[in-house]
Structure 1
Amino acid sequence: MVDHAVLLEGVTRTYGNGATEVAALRQVSVGFTRGSFTAVMGPSGSGKSTLLQCASGLDRPDSGAVLVAGQDITRLGEKELAVLRRDRIGIVFQAFNLVPSLTAWQNVILPSRLARRRPEPARVHELLNRVGLAGREGHRPAQLSGGQQQRVAIARALLSRPEVLFADEPTGALDRRTGHEVLALLREAVDAFGQTVVMVTHDPEAAARADSVLVLTDGRIDDVLDRPSAEQIGLRLGGLR
């Protein structure tokens, strides 16, 4: 029996009403195996970000079920969802969602402090160093570039070693070298710590770091590629409109 960290069953999500209604997801059923790295790709408007939002509990589907560690999170109240996201899920947004008045260090440890946990300083140092921010621990977001702010967000999401990490274009604002370092960090989270990573990306090279690539079109699963190369991904996506 496959051990799914996250399982979507018949998930549908629409926005708008009547003539303006748009179906972002249409009866999507897919499982993300525990300890796997999945890249989610597809044309603009294919439902990639909506998939992440529903899978992480940030958005509720109109129908269907979303199970995280066997628990149907569509049945949870907002407080229960908040606790689940805090304790078992890490999320890296396209928007960095940093607190402007806090330093990089303080932003990284903020979720832990809110949960009344004391993070290990050595772990915080390690993460900030791994994402290329050694020596900038005391800088506030306004003193950091967009790419550096994204690195803070990634370190924050990884600090508690969540069971599942959802990442929406985590390398989109980074230079090539730092992007590779971040992808290596995500890969290590899977290989060394058994975490599950689900990453939306438009970059075939980034997607090639994953175990599999889930291709969406028009809110439906169009294909699943097993350990494809960047070239194979590019060719597959090249035929999509």
Structure 2
Amino acid sequence: MNDAVRMNAVSKVYGRGRGAVAALREVTASLPRGRLTAVMGPSGSGKSTFLHCAAGLDTPTSGTVRLGDTELSSMNETRLTELRRRRVGFVFQAFNLVPSLTVEQNITLPLRLSRTRPDKAWLTEVVARVGLADRTGHRPGQLSGGQQQRVAIARALVTRPDVVFGDEPTGALDTMTARDVLTLLRDTVDGMGQTVVMVTHDPVAASYADTVLFLADGRIVDTMDAPSSDRVAARMTRLGAWK
């Protein structure tokens, strides 16, 4: 199976009765292995809900989600937590680093939580790939924003996850730093065979992807392969994202 994640007729409704809000409506999507997929859409289109359901952070109201050949919908919270720890990496807009821990301790935190010994060779490779080989003893407060996001990416990669999910991973970074981080994410796909799924509102960020999924009102309304920032921006304008 070449899908890292497969969503089938996934709907997510928050609330009940008249106050119910449908964040996702019958979404079917395949997120292929070894590819970078960007998810875009206007504010309130369901991007974050899509990511949370795909990553097992949230349970669909109906429909199914598979991570590889593992069906997530039937898992309880304890099993989902274990699965996320072992098989999923996360990179958020906020770096979510522990200020009192060194760079290396932050990177290996998921392994410590799952009581797994770090593979020293793999840790060394990950740290080198994200450009932090000379920073492993530093604490987050001694790093720039871009370096902190590199620590977060290394932390997401260290467990050798099936998928890395990014929720606006460059949202808190300046343009030049964002470009460095996007290049790094692209390199993890091309050089390490990693699978990355990234929610973004930035057409330039989306242009680093292999495929862009466009969401509107909780539905996938379009896809674009080999995207350019200009084509993505034009498509988003037609979706009414920017007026």
Q: Is the pair's TM-score, using the shorter chain for normalization, greater than 0.5?
A: yes
RMSD, matched Cα: 2.0
Deviation at 1:221, TM superposition (A): 0.4
Aligned residues: 240
Separation (CA, whole Å) in 2 of partners of 1:5 and 1:135 = 33
In the TM superposition, what whole-angstrom CA distance separates every residue of 1:32-64 from its partner, at most 9, and x where no partner exists? 112221100011111111111011101111111
Separation (CA, whole Å) in 2 of partners of 1:100 and 1:14 = 36
Q: What secondary structure is seen at the aligned counterpart in 2 of 1:173?
A: coil
Give the match for residue 80 of structure 2: 81
Separation (CA, whole Å) in 2 of partners of 1:175 and 1:134 = 23
Separation (CA, whole Å) in 2 of partners of 1:178 and 1:125 = 23
Q: Is the 8 A contact 1:108 1:153 kept in 2?
A: yes
Percent of residue pairs identical: 59
1:113 maps to amino acid: R
Alignment of 1:99-178 (within 5 A): 99-121=98-120, 123-178=122-177
Q: Is the 8 A contact 1:92 1:167 kept in 2?
A: yes
Give the match for residue 9 of structure 2: 10
2:63 maps to amino acid: G
Deviation at 1:123, TM superposition (A): 4.2
Separation (CA, whole Å) in 2 of partners of 1:76 and 1:141 = 35
2:187 maps to amino acid: E
Q: What secondary structure is seen at the aligned counterpart in 2 of 1:75?
A: coil
1:140 maps to amino acid: R
TM-score (normalizing by structure 1): 0.90
Separation (CA, whole Å) in 2 of partners of 1:21 and 1:187 = 38
TM-score (normalizing by structure 2): 0.90
Stretches of structure 2 that go unaligned for 5 or more consecutive residues are: none
Give the match for residue 47 of structure 2: 48
Give the match for residue 192 of structure 2: 193
Separation (CA, whole Å) in 1 of partners of 2:65 and 2:171 = 27
Q: 1:126 to 1:180 in 2, by over 3 A?
A: farther
Q: What secondary structure is seen at the aligned counterpart in 2 of 1:67?
A: strand
Q: Is the 8 A contact 1:150 1:173 kept in 2?
A: no
Give the match for residue 24 of structure 1: 23
Q: Is the 8 A contact 2:146 2:178 kept in 1?
A: no
Q: Is the 8 A contact 1:147 1:173 kept in 2?
A: no
Q: Is the 8 A contact 1:131 1:178 kept in 2?
A: no
2:199 maps to amino acid: V
Separation (CA, whole Å) in 1 of partners of 2:83 and 2:122 = 22
Deviation at 1:69, TM superposition (A): 0.8
